[in-house]
Amino acid sequence: MRQNSTRERSTGSCHCGGFLTVVGARENNLQDVSLRIPKGRLTVFTGVSGSGKSSVVFDTLAVESQRQLNETYTSFVRNRLPKYERPHADALEDLTPAIVVDQRPVGGHSRSTVGTMTDVYAVIRVLFSRHGTPSAGPATAYSFNDPAGMCPRCDGLGRTVAPDWDRVLDRDLSLADGAVRFPPFAPGTWQGQAYTNSDDLDPHKPVRDFTAAEREFLMRGRPGSKVTVHGTGGTWTTEYEGLADRFERLYLRRDLAAMSARTRDTVRRFLTEDTCPDCGGARLNAAALATRVGGLSIADCARMQVTDLIGALRGIDDPVAAPVARAAVTALERIEAIGLGYLSLDRETATLSGGEGQRLKTVRHLGSSLSGMTYIFDEPTVGLHPRDVHRLGDLLLRLRDRGNTVLVVEHDPDVIALADHVVDMGPGAGAGGGRVVFEGTPDALAAADTVTGRYLGRRPTVKDVVREPSGALWVRDAGRHNLRSLSVRFPAGVLTAVTGVAGSGKSTLVAEFTAAHEDAVVVDQSSIGISARSTPATYLGIMDTVRGIFARETGRDPGLFSFNSAGACAACEGRGTIRTDLAFMDPVTTTCPDCAGRRFGDEVLALTVAGRSVADVLDMTADEALGFFDDPAVGRRLGALRDVGLTYLTLGQPLSTLSGGERQRIKLATRLHRTGVVYVLDEPTTGLHMADVDGLVTMLDRLVDRGNTVVVVEHHLDVVARADWVVDLGPGGGREGGRVVFEGTPAQLLRADGTFTGEHLRRAVRGR
């Protein structure tokens, strides 16, 4: 790819003149950064995680562009648009309108599919409403999100869900002894008190001995029945609600995907789920499913792989239907062009991998004829196999050649090689970063004495001597999604990398592995909960200990040492800043004048332990805090932060200010102190610089050397090269995948045929 990049850089069809100018940027850790970024070019921002790349591109350039664009609207419109605060910079000049494709997971609820996300399904609905026979009606009659089209039995979800009452209720126990096993309704909870406190039920009588009337009352209640419950707010009498009625109202009539991960996992343990018998999982009512276009129902079209659907729609030659079909084909070809032709339109977006979701977000921009825009991408290669990176590179070059400016925050060497211009941030992370350490071409960066430059020329080293397994952990007859009844051996006591192109079945196989080994410690790609009030100290779970130490040493209440409780500064309510909302104008955030940003009141700041106030402790870096605390639990958690290379973070730094790579690593740190013999990690290199990947692999090696089994789903070739065992799936994605194409050591993978991972590992070892 490096050979091709020179040609691509020199033959772009349109390079607009001028520069995007940044003067004196000071967002987050930026230290008066000034830049001139060429317009109409592809510029890649590199640097270690936390060096300030996102602060320049997203928090400064993107925010100011969107803020100024919003100023062109009327006050009425602006009051309904997102509000952006003016970035901390001396000047930002000659900006163009920005379109941002960030790292946020696609997510989505159970009604969000590939078809609805890309708007292709809307075009298909129009096709069936105009051309289908017999017609079910207008386009809404083919929507599973509209009462006119959805299956009445499953409400358009394609599956039926019911409580498993044998799990919810242990009929051998009494209500007081815990007959209700569903945790939110357990004895002692305010909801559980509805059953133990009811005058109509004997809380000490086994549920099995209830009369029919008592069982009916327990499950469904009776109009006018009351019950008294006790809570932190006092005692009150409320309407009695039956166990079944309450469960159905709170958990069956709501979308599980919209609940927190913890609640969702809890509820699912007490549910039985099956394909809807009326619609067969198609989500639509009988009239919509009866309509045919070219012998296919709309459900048939939604189930097809994109590549197959393109062929089916191309065959429509009716003069009325053909223009609509061509519009659908054009949109589908964009999905195929970015390497996702194996997906189907009915695939739920919540099941997509990070890489699949990231690429789908770019589909809508492929058909745009806008020029003179600034497209901003945050690590678009996340989740991509090396085979698929060139497709993304083609997309970036295509956007550039239409006369747009393309800014990319990226670590992948192949994307860096495509750039017209590179800005390397550093030299370190956090307070040690925030400066521009290099500007120039990719070739000049490879020769530069920066962390990125040194790593660009480095080749992966394949491990020669691998660990001997201590046993075997099996997945047998796995057939979910596209897996083809696989039985796979995962060696115990070693580091195993599960590889393969996107859609090959990696995540599905590892999910089956996790299900078969319930004691596994899992670190997935889900984002951590972040807010201005969450910090490394609270996220790692050490803040309770810190408050306890200060309470014990000062004789005061622990709540006094929390900026979210009694100790908060009254002026800013523990935020450290005061945000002034100016209606339709830009908001203004200032440091709290009362506490000077320290979050606590004067009374709390005057209380010290070993000469330090609680605010002083929160200002410590993790490295400094390791020397201050002698509590073993705190030391263990801070040691985990050191293991993932985040000792430069302060304990009180808001998590909202961390980069994607830093968030990924702090989530990993919370799992490292757990006891478990099996660790499963889903693409742990997400957001990590090449230098940070070294530290990650060293940490994984330490986990294995302690006697654990570590399984990682990974594309990064440095991780694959240093694993003990590789399980490669493929050879392609979708129905072309789902098979094991290689099992063995990295050295054996170098010599293997018929595997894209082996092919790209050979290229990397020999030099890109």
13 pLDDT higher than 50: no
Q: Which long-range contacts (CB under 8 A, 24 or more apart) does 550-556 make?
A: 550/607, 550/609, 550/614, 553/609, 554/607, 554/608, 554/609, 556/607
Tell me the pLDDT tens digit for each residue of 536-548.
998 888 999 999 9
Counting every residue, how long is the chain? 768
pLDDT range class, residue 623, cuts 50, 70, 90: confident
Round to whole Å and give the CA distance between 758 and 752: 6
The whole model's pTM is what?
A: 0.82
Distance CA 125, CA 113 (A): 14
> Which of 442, 418, 408, 407 minimizes the C-alpha distance to 5?
418
Residue 620 has pLDDT above 70, yes or no: yes
Asked if residue 640 has pLDDT above 90, the reply is no
Query: Looking at the DSSP assignment, which residues form a beta bridge with residue 685?
Result: none
* pLDDT (0 to 100) of residue 107: 64
Instruction: Note the pLDDT of residue 18.
Output: 92
Q: Which CATH superfamily is domain 471-528+679-766 in?
A: P-loop containing nucleotide triphosphate hydrolases (3.40.50.300)
- At residue 58 the predicted structure's pLDDT band, cuts being 50, 70 and 90, is very high
pLDDT at residue 1 in the model: 38
Close Cβ partners of 747 (under 8 Å, ≥ 6 residues apart): 462, 463, 464
- Tokens of residue 646, six digits: 């985040």
Would you say residue 8 has pLDDT above 60? Answer: no
pLDDT of amino acid 90: 97
Contact 381, 356 (CB under 8 A): no
Higher pLDDT: 522 or 490? It is 490
Question: What confidence score (pLDDT) does residue 21 get?
Answer: 97
Closest C-alpha among 72, 46, 58, 71 to residue 22: 58
* pLDDT, mean of residues 700-708: 91
| CA–CA dist 729, 385 (Å, integer) | 12
CATH 3.40.50.300 at 2-105+352-456, yes or no = yes
Question: Is residue 74 classed exposed, middle or buried when 0-12, 13-18 and 19+ CB atoms within 10 A define those classes?
Answer: exposed
The rounded mean pLDDT for the chain is 89
With a cut of 90, say whether residue 94 has pLDDT above it. Answer: yes
Q: Where are the beta strands (DSSP E) in 152-203?
A: 159-163
- Closest Cα to residue 180, out of 202, 157, 207, 161? 207
Mean pLDDT, range 372-377, rounded to an integer: 94
Q: What is the mean pLDDT of residues 644-650?
A: 86
Per CATH, the homologous superfamily of domain 114-158+277-349 is ABC transporter ATPase  like domain (1.20.1580.10)
Q: Give pLDDT, residue 357.
A: 81
At the topology level, CATH places domain 161-275 in Helicase, Ruva Protein; domain 3 (1.10.8)
Residue 458, burial from CB neighbour count under 10 angstroms (0-12, 13-18, 19+): middle
Question: Can you tell me the distance from the alpha carbon of 316 to that of 294, in angstroms, rounded to the nearest whole number?
Answer: 7
Kindly state the helix (H) or strand (E) to which residue 357 belongs, with its residue range.
helix 354-366
User: What pLDDT, in 10s, does the model give residues 430-489?
Assistant: 889 999 999 999 999 999 999 999 999 888 999 989 999 999 999 999 998 889 999 999
Give the pLDDT of residue 530. 66
Average pLDDT over residues 508-517: 90
pLDDT confidence bin for 87, thresholds 50/70/90? very high
Q: How confident is the model at residue 583 (pLDDT cuts 50, 70, 90)?
A: low
Q: What is the pLDDT of residue 3?
A: 39
| DSSP-derived secondary structure letter, 58 | I
- For residues 536 and 649, the answer to whether their CB atoms sit within 8 Å is yes
Domain boundaries, the chain: 2-105+352-456, 114-158+277-349, 161-275, 471-528+679-766, 536-657
Q: Is the pLDDT of residue 6 over 50?
A: no
Question: CATH topology of 2-105+352-456 equal to that of 471-528+679-766?
Answer: yes
CA dist 225 → 100, 219, 228, 230, 744 (Å): 55, 13, 11, 17, 66
Fold classification of 536-657 (topology level): ABC transporter ATPase like fold (1.20.1580)
At residue 235, does pLDDT exceed 50?
Answer: yes
Q: What is the pLDDT of residue 83?
A: 84
Kindly tell me if the per-residue pLDDT of 259 is higher than 90.
no
Encode 719-755 in three state secondary structure: HHHCCCEEEEEECCCHHHCCEEEEEECHHHHHCCCCC
